[in-house]
Every structure is written in C-alpha cells, then in structure tokens.
Chains A and B, each alone.
Chain A
Amino acid sequence: MSIDLSIVLSGEFGQWLLRGFLLSIELTLVTLVLAFPLATVVALLRLSPWKALRGIGFAYVEGIRNVPLLAHLMFWYFGATQLLPEAARTWLYEHDAETICAIVALTLYTAAFMAEDVRSGIRSIPGTQLEAARALGIGYLRSMRLVVLPQAVRIIVPPLISQTLSLWKNTSIATVIGTAELMYQAQRVETATFRGVETFAVTTVAYLAVSCVITLIGVFYQRRYPVRAA
C-alpha cells in the first residue's frame, strides 16, 4: 500500500475536494458576517439596564450554547423546516436547503459564543466611562457606540478570532445534513478511490492551513493593536 497523493488531488477527485474546500470557506465567511452583528445585539441585551431584555439575552446564550452543534444542525434541517409556512418551505427547497440550513445553525450557534466575548469585552471598560458619557447627556446607545465600543474592540477581537477558528472547524459537522462541504466531499472521494489515508491527509492539511492563517491573523492583530491600559 503506497501513498500517492496525486490520485486524490488530480482530475475529478481534486475538483470535488476543491469544491468542498470552497464551500467550507464560504460557510465560514457568511456565518461570520451574520453572527457578529447578532452577537453584538445579544451582548447588548445582556448588558441592558432592563431586566426583561437581560433575560432574553441570557436565555439565548444559555439555550444555544448548551446544546451540541450536531443537534442544532439536525433541528434546523429536519425539524424547523417542517414548521415553515408552505411558500417559504417551497422557496427553501428550490434553493440550496442544505447550505442555507447549515448557515442558520452555525450562525445562531456561533453568535451565542461570540456574544459572551463581546459582553466581557464591554464589561472590561470601566463603568465610570459610561457614567461620564451619560452625565454629559449622551444617550445609552450613543454612549456605547462612541465611548465604550471603540475601546472594547481591542479586547474583543482576539477572542472573536479564536471563535472564528472554532467556526471554521465546526463547518465540518454540516456534512450530516448533506451540505457538500470539505468533509462531505472527502468522504465521497474516499468511497470512490478507497484512498482513506491520502484523502484524509489532504483534508487535514486543508483544515490545518486555514486554521494557521486564522491564528496568524490573531497574532498579527494583537501585535498591531494591543490592548491599551484604561
């Protein structure tokens, strides 16, 4: 049994893996773009002066974070889709339902974790800054936007980058709902070629390479924008 990477990298099989890789990247980027604003909203809910809003934020974070991602994916693909109104369901099934459901599940899941990072970043800015801003007559949201958040960003970004790393790896679980990402295509190639070692070696390197890039971005950010002493 000799190792021959060219079998799984060339021709049709290489194409499948490449397509899977690109979809994994797409899942990561789209989820990131959607999850970050959602996470910010949830974090602000949890920091809100009103108890009811804090309760909503708390319920979201704990409800989502404490359920495995696999269960989320199964729920959004096999469960929630059945609850949609007829027209929405028909639309969804005419489009790429596997990818859309994966993005929904990944976004909600990732946002719960990111919300906690955003919240702790905001909380690390001394409360007196918000009080000073309010004392000057600036509203709550404007104080957040102009005073607290710009300082909090430097603290929030590094953990968000590590959440992105988790997200990148988590995309692989979407294979269970038939999303044709990298793991899905890898299994397909393995079945067609019987080259398990080569297929999963290539897949591992692909995951590792992107993970390393994300980690490097994190290191670069922390060097370039270190946390300033308050």
Chain B
Amino acid sequence: MRILSKRLVHGLALSLLLCASAHADQLDTIKKKGDLVCGVLGTDEPNSFVDPKTRTIIGYEVDLCKAIAKKIGVKPTIKQLAVAARIPELQQGRVDILAAALTHTREREAVIDFSLTTFVTGQRVMVRKDGGITQLSQLAGKKVVTVRGGTQEPNIRRAVPTVEVVTFETAPQALVALQQRKAVGFVNDEVSLLDAYGKLGPAQKDFVLLDQSISTEALALGLRKNEPALKKSVDDTLRELEQSGEAERLFMFWYGPQSRLKYDKRHFRIESDKLPT
C-alpha cells in the first residue's frame, strides 16, 4: 500500500488540480459553449412534459429555464432525466442546472446549491375510493407506490412509519400501479397528483386525494455547489421575473383557472433561497 500510495497520490492530486482549473467558473463555461443545459423530468405536467402537438418538452420549469438562458445570452437545451438521476447528473456536469421538481432540503444542501424557491407544494396521497381509506393513519401496514429517488418515499415513511413503499422510475408508472390495484395509495407532489387526477377523466370517481399533506415542499432549481456567478445570474433572473409580474403570469398560465389544475391564485412568491427554520 505504501509503495503504491506515493505515485497514486501525486497522480490523483494532479488530476484533481486539472479538474479544478477546468471548471473554474461555470457561468463562463456556459457562455463559451453557448448553451445552458437544463435537466428536467419531462413526465411531470405542467412542470415539464412532452407537448403532444410539437413533441417538444414544455412547461413551467422549462419556461423558467428559457428565461435564465435568455438572461445569460445563450440558447437553452432541455435534457430529460429520471428522478433518481437528477443530483448525480448535476454533480457530474452533464446538466448545468436542474429544473426538475426538485425539493429544497437540508440534506441536499450538503451536496448542491439551490436557487430562489420557484414553487411551493404539499405532498399528498391519492387513494382508491373503494379501499376505504380516508386518513393517513389508515395507510399503516398498507402498500403505497411512488416515484424513486425523490423526497416522496422518506416523507411518507416519516408520516406513516409502518407503511410499505414500492417505487418506480417515473410517476406515471406508479399511477398505473395504483390503477391496477397493486397498492392502496400513490404518493406525490400535490400539483402532480392534481394533474394526474385531472387526466383520469371518467375514472376520477374511483379516486380521491387524502386531505392531509405529508409535507410541504419548497421546489427550487438545483445548481452545482460553489458556483456563485451562475447562482447570482439565476437568482437575478428569477427576481426580475417576480418583479415584472412575469412569474405570476407563468404560474397562471400553467396552473391557473384555464389549466387542468385550476388554482385561483398563487400562494407563494419567488423571493428566498432559504428554507423556513
């Protein structure tokens, strides 16, 4: 080990130095390459989803990403990611920012930075009406499904410690499992659940959302750690969107009365990048 170590350490140190100098400032790199790669889910209407007409990915988070790219003066590139792949892809530099229904959590603060909060949603549980479940506590010992790699699984386990959880790559797969009675409940962000509920059509009568939330999630854009220039650029863009009323307009466009989600007003403002203590 000792014989190995000297050369190995030198080699590693050298390569680390090279890496460090290679991405000295991410904002400069983005400007140089001319595009901002945004990691989105693409399966999470209305945050990011495939427009059936144009076959491109559109949505609230996609619009935020486009606004940021415009501010930096580069073109946006939308890249679709699995929920569980979000943070690794960001850390490994395959995407520049995450706009992927990413919950701002203290645990994640240790590995990535967050922009100003861009959305606030609760997480809730959708159940089948004939399952006879009307409260969270009745989920004890029962099986629920959700998407893998998000905050949904830890949150439902915290809310109902004895619940059994099965996870899938995407939220729509988990919804199918609920529809097929493979589980009694489907856990997800409230907005995603409302959207899924809207899509059920006539089958809506068989499903209901439990009233209690299992958590309140502050969603934000994810950034690589210690990239102050890029973070400032992102946060400034978001602040401008808020001040100009564009943020309100975007929310109403994707979530307002004309949309499937039918929110009558916005219950949050884009202003802080701190979690409430």
**Chain A residues near B (Cβ < 8 Å):** 78, 81-82, 89-90, 93, 97-98, 176-178, 180, 184, 187-188, 190-192, 194, 196
Contacts and interface: CB of A to CB of B under 8 A. Distances in A.
A191 B110 contact: no
Contacts of A78: 173, 176-177, 180
B140 interface: no
A178 B181 contact: no
B84 A178 contact: no
A228 to B, nearest CB: 48
A27 to B, nearest CB: 16
A97 B164 CA distance: 13
Nearest to A81: B180
B180 A191 contact: no
B177 A191 contact: no
A33 to B, nearest CB: 25
B176 A89 contact: no
Interface residues on B, range: 20 to 34
B111 interface: yes
9 A-B pairs closest in CB distance: A178-B166, A194-B111, A191-B149, A196-B88, A187-B84, A93-B182, A178-B168, A93-B181, A97-B182
B87 A178 contact: no
Contacts of A176: 168-169
A76 to B, nearest CB: 13
Contacts of A178: 145, 166-168, 177
B148 interface: yes
**Residue among A98, A178, A188, A196 with most chain B CB within 10 A:** A178
Contact of B87 (A98, A187, A194): A194
Contacts of B177: 78, 178
Interface in B171-226: 173, 176-177, 180-182
Contact of B110 (A81, A180, A188, A194): A194
Given A89-B181, A93-B182, 5 more contacts: A93-B181, A184-B167, A187-B149, A188-B167, A194-B111
B180 A98 contact: no
B154 interface: yes
A97 B108 CA distance: 33
A190 B149 CA distance: 8
Contacts of A187: 84, 148-149
Contacts of B87: 194
B177 to A, nearest CB: 7
B61 interface: no
Contacts of A82: 180
A209 B260 CA distance: 51
* Residue among B110, B173, B176 with max Cβ neighbours from chain A (10 Å): B173
Nearest to A79: B180
